[in-house]
Amino acid sequence: MELSAIQRKRLQEIATEAKEIVGGCLHPDGRPMTFAELEEECIEVGDLLTSAMLQRRVTERQPPQQPPGCPTCGRQTNLNPDEEPRVLQTDRGEVEWMEPTYHCRHCRRSFFPSLG
């Protein structure tokens, strides 16, 4: 996906807001921060934003309209009444969400459907 000019402009505005949140380029005692310190702070902010955005996007995904076939035998499956917590450690931080599971009575197998 390539970002549009409008999306890029808005993200630049968000970057300015993030800079205002973390503050200036000085330590509390007035010493200037090194480039490495500035970079590390920016990486931390970027990782937090990426993780939070991924968390929100993954929870917005919708389950399939029709129950998926069993990945083992292909037979019809049933939606389990309870969603299962999923936790994934990404390059940018941990992401956690609730995801529906399906069960195949024939194989006695529960699985997460592929949501793309």
Per-residue pLDDT 10s for the chain (116 aa) are 799 999 999 999 999 999 999 989 999 999 999 999 999 999 999 999 999 999 999 888 877 788 899 999 999 999 888 888 889 999 998 999 888 889 999 999 988 887 65
| Domain-wise residue ranges, the chain | 5-111
Q: Which residue is it, tokens 């970057």?
A: 15
- Looking at residue 47, its pLDDT comes to 94
Q: 95 φ, ψ to 5°?
A: -125, 135
In angstroms, the CA 5 to CA 25 distance is: 29
Q: What is the pLDDT of residue 33?
A: 96
What is the structure's pLDDT at 63? Answer: 73
What confidence score (pLDDT) does residue 116 get?
54
pLDDT at 106: 94
Q: Is 69 helix (H, G, I), strand (E, B) or coil?
A: coil
- Classify residue 67 as exposed, middle or buried by CB count within 10 Å of its CB (0-12, 13-18, 19+): middle
Whole-angstrom CA distances from 58 to 1, 4, 53, 66, 107 are 16, 22, 9, 20, 28
Interhelix angle 5-22/35-60, rounded to 10 degrees, is 120
Q: Is 98 helix (H, G, I), strand (E, B) or coil?
A: strand
